[in-house]
Amino acid sequence: MRYKIMMTGVILCIAMIGCENPKYDLRSELAHIDSLTVHYSALNMEPESLKTIRKEKASEVVIDLDPAMVDSGNRIPAAKLYLYAGLMDSAVTVLEAYKENCPDSAQLLLLFEAYYKTNRISDAERLYRQYLQNLNVSRGRIFRALFNGYRRISDYERALALAQEARSILPFRQLLPISLEEAELYYMLGRQKYAFNILSELSRHAGSVGERARITARRNLFNIMGKPAPPLQIQDWLSEDRVLLDDCKGSVVLLEFWAPHCTPCKQMFPLLSDLQARYSEKDLKVLAITRLYGYFHQPGIRESNLTPEEELNYIEKFKTQYKLSYPLGVAASIEGQINSLRYGVSVLPHTIIIDRSGIVRTYIIGADQEARQKLQNHIAELLAEPY
């Protein structure tokens, strides 16, 4: 009997030791997954496919890892692996356990990211107030994340209060993107006067040509909302007859401004092809608009000083490689800049949605999950409208 009790104790001790120590060398596993990501990226793998592979590999590592049993030396790699695997709550558990005793910036920024991704925005702000604002971190990135987080959960009052606070503590370069998004929020809330006042104030403080261009683009974007879509100047339509917006009346038009060297733009390709296939019979027209840049940069390809014919040839191959099934318009360099100016394009991808009457109804900037969902919702709503 005594022997059985002793053996039971030994087995329990071994089990506990096994729980307290990760099954894998977490740092090595994390480094291996990161190196795979770099490798597949160099092979021109799609960003979404990269994320899927990274998620699968990280899930294999942490599947048997109890977040409550991760020791302090493994908290950073464990948290990153949990984040890669999409296990946000587990990442929070690991990082919160050591928040008080080991408040280093790397750990706290990971915890901030986990809070942000799980919509615990007030916890993220509290973390900033208690710890991060006293460390050497980018306040601009923190405030922008908090602003967008509160906006995402529809706490607009808190988002606008943070934007106001940012004006008093951030240098103009860090303030500009937050204030542009603040103006956008005011515009969305129907307070257009406030939106344009913010843009006017920003214009007075803008120093560089690039800063002024971003502000002008946002003003132009606001100005075309609810108005007839401006004409496009296109040099070549690839594998398609000439397309005029006036000829598209009666259809909902999705204009996608993109560039071959824009990585986020590639995240939109599957969705645009899906929308085209799903709604073409309901009169949705997807038009992808780019311009000549004089170069063509892709993983493994860096061609500069290209003639228009050479660059068009590369874009043709790009269209075939990514199986883009919708019309693709290519503007000459100057005309492309005019298109961007008319449609308020400053960041790619930039999506404009035009209703059946030819009126610009809304816009979406970016390619993250929220942007893609908004795009699908807006398209479905406009297609359902009577005409």
Q: Letter for the amino acid at 211?
A: E
Q: Looking at residue 102, what is its pLDDT?
A: 60
Q: Looking at residue 13, what is its pLDDT?
A: 39
* H or E element, residue 239: none
The token pair at 68 is 């409550």
Sign of torsion, CA 230 234 240 242?
Answer: positive
Q: Looking at residue 134, what is its pLDDT?
A: 87
Average pLDDT over residues 169-192: 97
Confidence of residue 24 (pLDDT cuts 50, 70, 90): low
Counted residue by residue, the chain has a size of: 387
Q: Which residues contact 357 (CB under 8 A, 6 or more apart)?
A: 249, 387
Average pLDDT over residues 47-75: 88
Average pLDDT over residues 87-105: 83
Rounded Cα–Cα distance for residues 110 and 92 (Å): 9
Average pLDDT over residues 336-354: 96
Check whether 307 has a pLDDT greater than 80: yes
Rounded Cα–Cα distance for residues 276 and 287 (Å): 10
Average pLDDT over residues 84-110: 85
Average pLDDT over residues 93-104: 78
Average pLDDT over residues 1-20: 41
Chain centre to alpha carbon of residue 228: 29
Check whether 12 has a pLDDT greater than 50: no
Q: Which domains does the chain have, with CATH numbers?
A: 24-137 (1.25.40), 151-223 (1.25.40), 236-384 (3.40.30.10)
Confidence of residue 22 (pLDDT cuts 50, 70, 90): very low
Please, is 293 exposed, middle or buried when counting C-beta atoms within 10 Å of its C-beta (0-12, 13-18, 19+)? middle
Confidence of residue 97 (pLDDT cuts 50, 70, 90): confident
More confident site: 134 or 186: 186
Check whether 21 has a pLDDT greater than 60: no
Rounded Cα–Cα distance for residues 107 and 323 (Å): 41
Confidence of residue 301 (pLDDT cuts 50, 70, 90): confident
Percent of the chain with pLDDT over 90: 75
Rounded Cα–Cα distance for residues 82 and 309 (Å): 47
Average pLDDT over residues 33-41: 83
Rounded Cα–Cα distance for residues 363 and 354 (Å): 9
| Nearest to 228, CA basis, from 245, 243, 250 | 245
